[in-house]
């Protein structure tokens, strides 16, 4: 059933069994400032709300008087609209329960929880002071001693929280208050989550990715449920960087660009920007901001010990920051034993890491020669290529017209057979060159245009039948490992397509990276166009590979053209797609995701981070499908930053089709807009389940989306039958 607010603005479309939601709701949700104006001066329970001081987490915050105990407190009030949302109310209560478990001098304390006249609120300790963000902006970056003191205090607070199974998940300068006495107080536990909350009860799964883009850890950006104390430590590392430099490590760019930077780029070296920062302190900050959580400090207590060692080396007095817990942790030098309390679990962990690392390096099978009868050309690791410490040839493999040197090959297929993990293959030719279907397994390779050349890799059919090697018939199968393509065109060109065909197929844990690339599906022969509609640019399905179930695609300045869909995902796969720059114009949809086969299990989930690109999709942008055979709902989390989307009349930007009630569908899709433009069809979201069809227009999306019914001429040209248009 749709909400009552939506029902009040519905109108029936003649001749269609659909409910159309259009126009703005009669009473929109109040902003934090509006809540402040409404409630300032009012009384909720025993608390007189004296002054609105800002919005934080999920509510508006007031300086208030506790009339019972005659003390100043902070009261966070949830809006009435949010209070009507049962999930939001549960999250609000979860905030109170999480924070109430904490009692530490570096954490703002919770006093009470209440509700009155439809307003739900939490009462916190009111802390006099200035938040770290404003302090640095007003006074400039901290000296090393002051930064060490604050870092130790916040780490102490995180150790206390971790001991009680609480993760803050929004560590940033504005959530750290420095009191007049110099004490650091961690506030706003609004994003904290008790670790024992089950996945199906996770109170963030249907909300936006939690955290702040300048300080968010890579794993939290991918999946908020994966955040643990090591994610808080990453954010603390970014915060220490801010204290010392005056800006976060990735300060420039849009929100999507910042997310990509946290995922892919090494942070700037703090010592290069602040030469006075001791090398050991800089190394600790770099370790905090490691991309892989396993490479960071595993507990705040480890960090505290290291920072105390820095203070001892530099003869910096940090006694003011040391609580009773910190005082029990002795400084640790560059060499020498770790604290005894850490050894029992550090040693097994190190041993396990060594075993896993050894298995990872030695498990790939020896390279198999590819005979003439095989349907694919395969690149797999040899024992030599997988062994650590082998010297790497500086000379790349080159695909040339006439091979002359030892690293020259007549085809990409031959280069793939000879390449080792980490190698580069350069295409030193111009125009199209036909290749058989290709396969990559267990290694990482880069394929790029040689300087001065404009090559096109044209992959010809017929493709290998699905089920022979993989469940997908693809021109290029990436079973595992990473394929990077740069400055090259890759075209699938054939007249024979089936429903499983794809240009690329990605297995479990596989990664495809394209930079300045053109990707296309092109038909040949009579009647090919109708067959191509069944094909996909990238297909990701269960049963391909034996690695982790998450795959990744990163596209930068990439142009996609074709008759089919761009991405097709099915089963229980998790896919991260990051697209920055370039354009996509296809006759199909950008994403088609089909549900999982088990009703009680998870369906596929897709994270889209889209920035500064144009997407023109004749069949709609996203189609999520469930059915009696595949009942587990597909999920979508999308961030669209400064993009253009064009969808023709009759299609929807996001369409969900299947056998469920509308409320089930609402909870599995998130769309966060960052200044994008939407052209064509007025249907933002269509839900066509077991009940009536519901269509939600852009004005009723809950966000201020910019929409026009006019589709610009450049998109119409892309949709023409001329593949070179």
pLDDT tens, 511-546?
A: 999 999 999 987 665 444 444 556 789 998 766 545
Strand partners, 506: 478, 540
Across 593-606, b (16+ Cβ under 10 Å) vs e yields bbbbeeeeebbbbb
What's residue 717's pLDDT? Answer: 78
User: Model-level pTM?
Assistant: 0.61
Name the pairing type of β-strands 455-460 and 489-494. parallel
Phi/psi-derived region of residue 577, left when phi > 0, alpha when psi is between -120 and 50, beta in every other case: beta
Task: Tell me which residue of 555, 432, 564 sits closest to 502, measured CA to CA.
Answer: 564
For β-strands 669-674 and 591-594, DSSP reports them as unpaired
Which residues have C-beta within 8 Å of that of residue 502, sequence separation ≥ 6? 472, 473, 474, 475, 492, 535, 536, 537, 538, 539, 568
CATH number for the domain running over 131-333: 1.10.510.10
Of 329, 271, 275, 273, nearest in space to 297 by CA: 329
Helix or strand run (H / E) with residue 379: strand 377-379
The pLDDT assigned to 15 comes to 39
Given this model, what pLDDT does residue 110 score? 86
Is the Cβ–Cβ distance between 290 and 268 less than 8 Å? no
Helix (H) or strand (E) holding 485: strand 481-486
* pLDDT value, residue 31: 63
What are the residue ranges of CATH 1.10.510.10 in the chain? 131-333
Q: What stretch(es) of the chain map to CATH 3.30.200.20?
A: 32-125
Q: Which residues of the chain have pLDDT under 70?
A: 1-32, 55-58, 79-89, 91-92, 95, 189-212, 225, 320-394, 461-472, 494-500, 523-534, 542-548, 599-600, 720-725
Alpha helical stretches, state H, 248-299: 255-264, 270-273, 279-288
Is domain 32-125 given the CATH code 3.30.200.20 in the classification? yes
Residue 23 has what pLDDT?
A: 43
Give the pLDDT confidence score for residue 124 in this predicted structure. Answer: 87
Q: Which of 121, 142, 143 is nearest to 132 (CA)?
A: 142
CA quadruple 594, 626, 707, 704: dihedral sign: negative
Task: Give CA separation, 166 vs 190, 209, 237, 315, 720, in Å.
Answer: 11, 18, 19, 34, 55
- Secondary structure (3-state) at 246: coil
pLDDT of res. 282:
96
């Amino acid at each position: 059933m749709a909400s009552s607010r939506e029902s009040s603005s519905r109108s029936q479309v003649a001749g269609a069994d659909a409910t159309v939601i259009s126009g703005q709701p009669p009473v929109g949700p109040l902003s934090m400032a509006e809540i402040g104006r409404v409630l300032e001066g009012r009384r909720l329970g025993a608390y007189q709300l004296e002054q609105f001081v800002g919005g934080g987490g999920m509510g508006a915050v007031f300086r208030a008087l506790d009339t019972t105990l005659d003390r100043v407190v902070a009261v966070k009030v949830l809006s009435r609209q949010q209070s009507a949302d049962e999930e939001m109310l549960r999250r609000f209560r979860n905030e109170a329960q999480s924070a109430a478990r904490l009692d530490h001098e570096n954490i703002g304390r919770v006093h009470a929880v209440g509700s009155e006249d439809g307003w739900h609120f939490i009462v916190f300790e009111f802390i006099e002071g200035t938040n770290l963000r404003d302090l640095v902006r007003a006074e400039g970056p901290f000296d090393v001693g002051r930064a060490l003191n604050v870092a130790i205090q916040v780490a102490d607070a995180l150790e206390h929280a971790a001991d009680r199974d609480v993760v803050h998940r929004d560590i940033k300068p504005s959530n750290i208050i420095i009191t007049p006495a110099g004490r650091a107080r961690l506030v706003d536990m609004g994003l904290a989550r008790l670790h024992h909350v089950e996945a199906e009860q996770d109170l963030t799964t249907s909300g936006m990715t939690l955290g702040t883009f300048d300080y968010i850890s890579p794993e939290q950006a991918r999946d908020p449920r994966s955040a643990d104390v090591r994610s808080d430590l990453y954010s603390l590392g970014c915060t220490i960087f801010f204290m010392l430099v005056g800006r976060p490590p990735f300060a420039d760019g849009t929100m999507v660009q910042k997310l990509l930077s946290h995922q892919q780029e090494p942070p700037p070296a703090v010592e290069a920007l602040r030469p006075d920062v001791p090398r050991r302190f800089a190394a600790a900050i770099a370790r905090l901001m490691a991309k892989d959580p396993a490479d960071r400090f595993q507990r705040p207590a480890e960090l505290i010990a290291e920072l105390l060692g820095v203070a001892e080396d530099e003869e910096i007095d940090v006694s003011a920051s040391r609580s009773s817990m910190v005082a029990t942790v002795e400084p640790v030098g560059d060499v020498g034993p770790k604290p005894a309390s850490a050894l029992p679990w550090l040693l097994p962990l190190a041993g396990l890491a060594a075993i896993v690392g050894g298995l990872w390096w030695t498990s790939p099978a020896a390279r198999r020669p590819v005979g003439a009868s095989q349907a694919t050309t395969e690149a797999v690791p040899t024992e030599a290529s997988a062994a650590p410490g082998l010297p790497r040839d500086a000379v790349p493999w080159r695909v040339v017209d006439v091979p002359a040197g030892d690293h020259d090959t007549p085809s990409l297929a031959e280069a793939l057979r000879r390449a080792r993990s980490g190698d580069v293959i350069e295409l030193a030719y111009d125009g199209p060159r036909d290749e058989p279907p290709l396969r990559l397994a267990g290694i990482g390779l880069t394929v790029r245009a040689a300087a001065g050349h404009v090559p096109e890799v044209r992959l010809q059919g017929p493709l290998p039948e699905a089920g022979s090697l993989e469940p997908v018939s693809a021109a290029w199968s990436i079973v595992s490992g990473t394929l990077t393509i740069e400055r090259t065109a890759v075209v699938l060109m054939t007249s024979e397509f089936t429903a499983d065909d794809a240009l690329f197929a990605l297995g479990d844990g596989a990664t495809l990276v394209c930079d300045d690339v053109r990707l296309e599906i092109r038909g040949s022969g009579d009647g090919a166009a109708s067959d191509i509609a069944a094909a996909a640019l990238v297909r990701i399905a269960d049963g391909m590979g034996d690695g982790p179930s998450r795959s990744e695609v990163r596209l930068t300045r990439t142009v996609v053209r074709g008759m089919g869909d761009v991405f097709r995902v099915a089963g229980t796969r998790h896919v991260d797609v990051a697209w920055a720059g370039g354009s996509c114009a296809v006759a199909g949809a950008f994403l088609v995701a089909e549900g999982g086969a088990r009703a009680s299990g998870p369906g596929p989930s897709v994270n889209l981070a889209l920035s500064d690109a144009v997407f023109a999709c004749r069949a709609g942008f996203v189609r999520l499908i469930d059915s009696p055979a595949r009942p587990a709902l597909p999920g979508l989390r999308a961030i669209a930053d400064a993009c253009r989307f064009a969808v023709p009349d009759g299609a929807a930007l996001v369409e969900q089709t299947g056998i469920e009630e509308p409320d089930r569908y609402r909870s599995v899709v998130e769309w966060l807009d960052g200044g994008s433009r939407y052209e064509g069809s007025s249907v933002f979201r269509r839900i066509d389940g077991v009940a009536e069809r519901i269509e939600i227009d852009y004005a009723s999306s809950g966000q201020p989306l910019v929409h026009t019914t006019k589709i610009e001429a450049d998109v119409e040209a892309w949709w023409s039958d001329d593949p070179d248009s």
